[in-house]
Chain A
Amino acid sequence: GDSVTQTEGLVTLTEGLPVMLNCTYQSTYSPFLFWYVQHLNEAPKLLLKSFTDNKRPEHQGFHATLHKSSSSFHLQKSSAQLSDSALYYCALSYGSSGNKLIFGIGTLLSVKP
């Protein structure tokens, strides 16, 4: 069945270092992939979503590239900021109508000074 895998539960970085959070997926269809961010005591918010063409989505310095050959949608940022500390979910919409969205287990990013 369809699934999303995030291999890191916790990533701790020093401010200014690059960020890479891993996401791989399995899907029967050609899915849309998403990154959602959830700050402490807040609801999840969309950070990025994949495009159907080869464009690379970017937002708030984050970007992700959908690689169909490796079924991956890793999240990257060149320089981490303290305010980036949050829970990051990779998600996949599946089903013929895209009504079902499955989330990975989430990766907690902790950025230290």
Chain B
Amino acid sequence: AQTIHQWPVAEIKAVGSPLSLGCTIKGKSSPNLYWYWQATGGTLQQLFYSITVGQVESVVQLNLSASRPKDDQFILSTEKLLLSHSGFYLCAWSPRLGENTGQLYFGEGSKLTVL
């Protein structure tokens, strides 16, 4: 069975400080990987997706970056946090291209509070 693990579960950070959120998928080879952001009371906004190692596509610009250093790992980061970065960050995976019907499997999320 596939599992998806996000870390950290929650972070409280200062404006201007760096951030790194991680996500690992086990039990699925070459999945499509996604980062979503959910502001408090807001909808799910797709930030990035990746269909293979080393390749990441940006969907919206929020002064964040993403990388896929390994097949099963997806990292979200920034060097300088803004207050507007606060929210809930969700990593998700879907079956690879060819099998993909858009069905996503979400991790449990990382709650970020920027002060």
Contacts and interface: CB of A to CB of B under 8 A. Distances in A.
Contacts, number: 61
A44 B44 contact: yes
B49 to A, nearest CB: 5
A31 B45 CA distance: 18
A105 B42 CA distance: 7
Contacts of B107: 43
B90 A34 contact: no
Interface stretch (B13-21, B70-78, B79-87, B97-105): B97-105
Interface in B22-51: 32, 34, 42-46, 49, 51
B103 A45 contact: no
Given A100-B59, A103-B44, A46 B49 contact: no
Contact of B102 (A44, A45, A89, A93): A93
Contacts of A34: 102-103
Contacts of A31: 102
26 contacts: A32-B101, A34-B102, A34-B103, A43-B106, A44-B44, A45-B106, A46-B103, A46-B105, A49-B103, A89-B43, A91-B44, A92-B102, A93-B102, A98-B102, A99-B32, A99-B49, A99-B57, A99-B97, A99-B100, A100-B46, A101-B34, A101-B46, A101-B102, A102-B46, A103-B46, A105-B42
Interface of A: 31-32, 34, 36, 42-46, 49, 89, 91-93, 97-106
